[in-house]
A and B are shown apart, each in its own frame.
Chain A
Amino acid sequence: MRICIDSNQFIFGLSGVDAASETVLKLLPRLEAVIPRLILKEVTRNLNQVQVKALYALLNQAPHVIVVEDPVPANLVDKYVALGLSEKADAIIGAFAEWQEVKYIISDNRHFLDELHGNAFEVVTPEEFLHRYYWHSIREER
């Protein structure tokens, strides 16, 4: 189950202001996740150098987390603009998810949750994701 985590989840989880976001981040070593560079730039913009280094070290130590540097294909970005994401910056994230064959984007951004619809993936809140993750884990154990 490959996922992508939106910048707001990193902010809420690292700040400790949202228990579900924090739990998702704490699960990172056990998850398969792809994160576009754009999202990490948003997260690290207000951190100092030591904190940025520590965050990248954590991501590097999570065995199945990949930070994707390559640009998202332009035709996919156009597709997500046409699907209703009026801002290209948001369309990049939708296009990224399809391009990287992500199953879930985890986000608390209502804008995203309401506007971003694709057949390729679902945008879910951290609570919804955790519910599905644990349900899936229990099924796998049986």
Chain B
Amino acid sequence: MSQDITWKVPENLYRELVWAQQELKYPSLVDFIVQAVQRRLAEIKYEAWQRDFRQLQEQIHVSGGFGLGETKEEVITNLRKIRRQIFEEDYAHLY
């Protein structure tokens, strides 16, 4: 499915678009614009993901963190204990 759109652009922007399309050897102006829009959309999604990631970091920080220890070694030791517990609870019967 596709949707037709009519897009009026200032003359100087049009000239720049045509120049870029020819410079980058895109088969048509439409191909060039479609790819430019897709790239920008991907950037916007990536930026939104980064924002949501930072928000989750903040939430975790505000709620006191993971509570697994002060040092990296403590965290890893506690995670190993948790891994063992989860294995016993949920996976041991499979192996």
Quick check: A29 and B49 within 8 Å, CB to CB?
yes
A74 within 8 A of B: yes
Contact indicator B83/A90 (Cβ below 8 Å):
yes
CA distance A140 to B66 in the complex (A): 38
Given contacts A11-B68, A57-B52, A74-B95, whether A42 and B60 have CB atoms under 8 Å apart is no
Question: A51 touches which one: B45, B63, B90, B92 (CB < 8 A)?
Answer: B63
Residue of A11, A29, A47, A111 touching B46 (CB-CB under 8 A) = A29
Chain A residues whose C-beta falls within 8 Å of the C-beta of B36 in the assembled complex: none
A47 touches B60 (CB 8 A): yes
**B76 interfacial contact with A, CB 8 Å:** yes
The smallest beta-carbon distance between B29 and chain A, in angstroms, is 26
Q: Is the CB of A25 within 8 A of B53?
A: yes
B interface SS class: helix
- How many residues of B are in contact with the other chain, CB < 8 A? 32
The yes or no answer to B17 lying at the interface (CB within 8 A) is: no
Q: A7-B79, A109-B80 are in contact. Are A16 and B95 (CB under 8 A)?
A: no
What distance in Å separates the Cβ of A69 from its nearest Cβ neighbour in chain B?
12
Q: Is the CB of A54 within 8 A of B59?
A: yes
A-B CB proximity, top 4 nearest: A89-B87, A89-B83, A54-B56, A46-B66
Listed in ascending order, the chain A residues whose CB lies under 8 Å from chain B are 7-8, 11-12, 14-18, 25-26, 28-30, 38, 41-42, 45-48, 50-51, 54-55, 57-58, 61-62, 71, 74, 77-78, 87-90, 92, 108-111
